[in-house]
């Protein structure tokens, strides 16, 4: 019974972690389309009436803006701004999930020396959390040696 519960929990959490970002992205995209609809409305008269021109042009404008922001981030100035925003005074923001529910937990701001990157798969980490820490020795073993 425990194996079934662990499987269902880890599968549900894994699915949520895939679906939730997609859902939020679609919501933000739709909100952006609503925001620019007034800008593209005058251009809709130039297109055929059978075409949902306002939606198509709004989506295109939002995607072009996203593309331009993506290009700007790849420039030297964009990289400097991104590093400045991510800098946080040589500290990391770390989310520590609670056991056995990885969607709840605490957020800590830690110095670089207290944070260790682990070379483990996402499912291995979530599996350890959903099993009340069972298998944590594998996570500790994945820590780089000092």
Angle value at C-alpha 21, between 15 and 2, nearest 5 degrees: 20
pLDDT digits (tens, 9 = 90+) for 26-81: 999 999 999 998 888 888 888 888 888 888 899 999 999 999 999 998 899 888 88
**Domain housing 63:** 2-74
Q: Is residue 81 part of a domain?
A: no
Q: Is residue 31 part of a domain?
A: yes
pLDDT digits (tens, 9 = 90+) for 2-40: 788 888 888 888 888 888 889 999 999 999 999 998 888
Q: Is residue 146 part of a domain?
A: no
Distance CA 64, CA 58 (A): 10
Q: Is residue 79 part of a domain?
A: no
Same domain, 111 and 52: no
Same domain, 6 and 70: yes
DSSP-derived secondary structure for 69-89: HHHHHHSHHHHHHHHHHHHGG
pTM exceeds 0.75:
no
Model pLDDT, residue 82? 80
**Total count of domains within the chain:** 2
pLDDT digits (tens, 9 = 90+) for 84-132: 877 677 788 888 777 666 677 788 888 888 887 777 777 777 777 777 7
Same domain, 12 and 66: yes
Same domain, 70 and 6: yes
């Amino acid at each position: 019974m425990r194996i079934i519960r662990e499987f269902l929990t880890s599968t549900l959490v894994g699915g949520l972690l895939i679906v939730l970002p997609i859902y939020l992205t679609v919501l933000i995209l739709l909100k952006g389309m609503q925001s620019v609809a007034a800008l593209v409305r005058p251009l809709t008269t130039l297109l055929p009436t059978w075409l949902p021109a306002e939606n198509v042009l709004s989506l295109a404008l939002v995607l072009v803006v996203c593309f331009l922001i993506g290009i700007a981030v790849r420039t030297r100035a964009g990289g400097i701004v991104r590093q400045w925003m991510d800098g946080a005074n040589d500290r990391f923001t770390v989310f520590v999930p609670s056991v056995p529910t990885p969607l709840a937990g605490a957020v800590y701001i830690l110095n670089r020396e207290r944070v260790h990157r682990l070379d483990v798969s996402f499912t291995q980490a979530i599996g350890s959390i959903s099993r009340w820490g069972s298998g944590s020795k594998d996570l500790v073993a994945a820590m780089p040696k000092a």
